[in-house]
A and B are shown apart, each in its own frame.
Chain A
Amino acid sequence: MRLAFILSEIGSGLRRNLTMVISVILVTFISLTFVGAAGMLQLQINQMKGYWYDKVQVAIFLCSEGSAAAGCASGPVTEEQQKNLEALLRSPAVAQYINEFQFESKEDAYGHFKEQFSNSPIVDSVAPDQLPASFRINMKDPEKYQIISETFASQPGVESVIDQRKILEQLFSVMNGASVVAVVIAAVMIVCAILLIATTIRLSAFSRRRETGIMRLVGASKTVIQLPFILEGVIAALIGAALASGTLWAVSYFFLGDLSKQFQDTPFISPSQTLVLVPALFALGVILAGISSLLTLRRYLRV
């Protein structure tokens, strides 16, 4: 009975304030879309970092079948060459610059590759044999990359020495910058949303002051009086969050889908990965509606 009553109160509140409710929905929609965009950029950065990025700085790729590099003229790397390289890595001259290193076999490389490019059709056209084995090195000081490069580039069995950070860091800084911008816009929009929700609830409380006055007099509990107002805001915010989630999913499905066909060697996040953000957006919507309505009701709807 009480639940039915509260629901009918919510319904009439939403109908009476329809224009305001629509504006609340739109503002939360926009603000949460920006929050989600920042989230997507971060997910994308993680995706591109792949398995090794946060663990090592330098990769020494070993010669494999059909390597075209000058150092690989004698064919794929031999057991002996590989042992020599490992010994060199352990030698005091080199070891002083290195925290630790790991060996990634062709099989390991294939496993990591499959994971990183799980959303890309390129996975099907690559076999374990085509991926080079490598030593992955964690530097004490990443700036000393040059030393490792000079030492190993000319060793037999080495295809190339790559400083992965150099390649990706610029791109990541652009993407991080973009997500900061998105977060700032989101923050401003969230302030708008909170103020708008507060105003909407204030109007709603004003237009229903007769009812709430009588409810107070006959001894309705605080919950029964205030819950309809809070839930109105929450419902509007949830609709906004749903729209934002839909938008993000559409962006990852259509836009990133196209991009991943154009740039096959770049791993993109999949639409299903975007869905990770959905619960967060809904929670954020509920929290901002809840906070603003609590603050408003304390002032404008005395019980």
Chain B
Amino acid sequence: MPTCCGAIRAMIRFENVTKVYDRKARPALDSITLEIDRGEFAFLVGASGSGKSTFLRLVLKEDRATSGAVYVAGQNVANISSWRVPRLRRGIGVVFQDFRLLPQKNVFANVAFAMQVIGKSRSVIRSTVPEVLKTVGLEGKEHRMPHELSGGEQQRVAIARAVVNRPGILLADEPTGNLDPTTSMGIMGVLDKINQNGTTVVMATHDDDIVNEMRKRVVELRNGVVIRDEAKALYTSMIPVVGQSRRLKDASGLDDLVGPERVSQDGTSSGEAMQ
């Protein structure tokens, strides 16, 4: 066991981590070494299939690294026995692109659910949930059902649920992927506020506007390798990365821009980009 918490600066640490799903294909992550410090806000950018989701899954111990070590809050997740995995996950909040709210429960119940299932008392739930809803800007909407909320509001509920148990880490997997730019900025405000309160935030995203606006650390992955790790960075590096910003235009059908991008990529990731 590593020594106590004070000594650990890195909230998430990857040491030469490789993840192979299919022996015939290239690895999803290829010997990645990376540290994300306590209280940091980091963007994880890169094309679909570049390894962002695999990174998040390894932090959650949803998957096991093929080789190398993943440390979360100083603990090697490979050494966490399966019955202790829930405790690891209580220290990590997760937000997704598709919100994943429970449609038959109202806002309050959706957030309270995360506390109920880990056995928090009714009185603690009653006092904590409104507080968290206030943090994410949903005061007075406790009794709305998910379908009565806008996308941005639904994502705020999901964020509230992710942080209601006060995790040290918040993982966000393209949280603004389904939202318009203005709403997205609102969500970023919420995430920033949570980060200000001391939570480490790792956000995987494709949204260049947001990354450029926030000016936080940017870790760029391509084909399972970290090709850039800059503080206070932009979505695209000063050294242009071919094909990155054209991806959206590619998806929207501007064929004339596709040519050079195809050349720059191997078959797999190009295929995924088309989806």
B102 interfacial contact with A, CB 8 Å: yes
Contact of A243 with B by CB under 8 A: no
Contact B100 A220 (CB under 8 A): no
Given contacts A1-B122, A214-B100, A214-B102, contact A221 B86 (CB under 8 A): yes
B114 within 8 A of A: yes
Q: Tell whether A2 is near chain B: CB-to-CB under 8 Å.
A: yes
Q: Counting CB contacts under 8 A, is B161 at the interface?
A: yes
- In the assembled complex, which residues on chain B have CB atoms less than 8 Å from the CB atom of A224? 117-119
Q: Please give me the residue from chain A that is nearest to B90 by CB atom.
A: A219
A5 and B88 in contact (CB under 8 A), knowing A210-B100, A218-B161? no
Whether the pair A220, B117 counts as a contact (CB closer than 8 A) is: yes
Docked-complex contact B90 and A218, CB < 8 angstroms: yes
State the CA gap A104–B102 with chains docked (Å). 77
Query: A5-B116, A218-B89, A219-B86 given as contacts; is B121 within 8 A of A210 (CB)?
Result: no
Q: Does B87 contact A (CB under 8 A)?
A: yes
**A5 and B117 contacting across the interface, CB-CB below 8 Å:** yes
CA–CA, A218 and B122, complex, Å: 17
B120 at the interface (CB under 8 A from A): yes
**Chain B residues near A210 (CB, 8 Å)?**
100, 102
Q: How large is the interface on B (under 10, 10 to 19, 20 to 34, 35 or more residues)?
A: 20 to 34
Which of B82, B102, B118, B121 interacts with A218 by CB under 8 Å? Answer: B118
B165 an interface residue at 8 Å Cβ cutoff?
Answer: yes
B 156-181 to A, binary, CB cutoff 8 A, 1 in contact else 0: 00000110010000000000000000
Is the CB of A211 closer than 8 A to any CB of chain B? yes
Across-interface contacts of B119 in A (CB, < 8 A): 1-2, 5, 224
Asked if A222 is at the interface of the complex by the 8 Å CB criterion, the answer is: yes
Q: Does A93 have its Cβ within 8 Å of any Cβ on chain B? A: no
As a 0/1 sequence over residues 54 to 89 of chain A, the CB contacts with chain B under 8 angstroms (1 = contact) are 000000000000000000000000000000000000
Q: How far is the CA of A141 from the CA of B165 in the complex (A)?
A: 79
A215, CB-defined interface residue at 8 Å: yes
Query: Looking at A210, A211, A217, A222, which has the most chain B CB atoms within 10 Å of its CB?
Result: A217
- In the assembled complex, A216 has its CB within 8 A of some CB on chain B: yes
Is B89's CB under 8 angstroms from A216's CB?
yes
Give bound CA distance, A24 to B163, whole Å. Answer: 40
Interface string of B43-62 (1 = CB under 8 A from A): 00000000000000000100
Q: Is the CB of A220 within 8 A of B118?
A: yes
Contact code string B98-122 (vs A, CB < 8 Å = 1, else 0): 0010100000000001101111111
A214 to chain B, nearest CB (A): 6
Contact A1 B116 (CB under 8 A): yes
Complex alpha-carbon distance, A224 and B165, angstroms: 17
Contact partners of A214 in chain B: CB under 8 A:
100, 102, 113-114, 117, 161
* B94 within 8 A of partner (CB): yes
**B86 & A220 in contact (Cβ 8 Å cutoff):** yes
Contact A1 B121 (CB under 8 A): yes
Q: Is the CB of B83 within 8 A of A218?
A: no
Q: Which residue of B lies closest to A213 (CB)?
A: B100
A81 CB to nearest chain B CB (Å): 79
Pairwise interchain contact B117-A218, C-beta atoms closer than 8 A = yes
Give min CB distance, A225 to chain B, whole Å.
Answer: 8
Known: A219-B88, A221-B86, A222-B83. A1 touches B120 (CB 8 A): yes
Chain B residue contacts of A225, Cβ below 8 A: 117
CB distance from B118 to the nearest CB of A (A): 6
A215/B117 contact (C-beta < 8 A), A1-B122, A220-B86, A222-B86 known: yes
**B113: shortest Cβ distance to chain A, in Å?**
7
Task: Pick the residue among A2, A5, A211, A219 that contacts B89 (CB under 8 A).
Answer: A219
Q: Mark A288-303, 1 if CB is under 8 A from B, else 0.
A: 0000000000000001
Identify B118's interface contact among A219, A222, A303, CB under 8 A: A219
B residues near A303, Cβ cutoff 8 Å = 82, 85-86
Q: How far is the CA of A216 from the CA of B85 in the complex (A)?
A: 9
In the complex formed, the residue of B with least CB distance to A222 is B83
Docked pose: A210 CA to B101 CA in angstroms: 8
| A211 and B87 in contact, given A1-B119, A5-B117 (Cβ under 8 angstroms) | no
Report Cα–Cα, A211/B114, bound state, in Å. 10
Smallest beta-carbon distance B35→chain A, Å:
24
Closest to B164 in A: A218
A213 cross-chain contacts in B, Cβ below 8 A = 100
- The distance from the CB of B119 to the nearest CB of chain A, in whole angstroms, is 4
- Measured CB to CB, the nearest residue on chain B to A217 is B94
Question: Taking CB as reference atom, which chain B residue is nearest A211?
Answer: B102
**Interfacial residues of chain A within 1-53, with CB under 8 A of chain B in the complex:** 1-2, 5
Q: Which residues of B contact A217 (CB under 8 A)?
A: 60, 89, 94
Residues from chain A with Cβ under 8 Å of B116 in the complex: 1-2, 5
Q: List 26 A-B contacts (CB under 8 A).
A: A1-B116, A1-B120, A1-B121, A1-B122, A2-B116, A5-B116, A5-B117, A214-B100, A214-B113, A215-B117, A216-B89, A218-B113, A218-B118, A219-B89, A219-B90, A219-B91, A219-B92, A219-B165, A220-B86, A220-B117, A221-B83, A222-B86, A224-B117, A225-B117, A303-B82, A303-B85
B-side residues, CB < 8 A to A, are 60, 82-83, 85-94, 100, 102, 113-114, 116-122, 161-162, 165
Known: A5-B117, A214-B117. 5 other contacts (CB 8 A): A1-B119, A215-B117, A218-B114, A218-B118, A219-B90
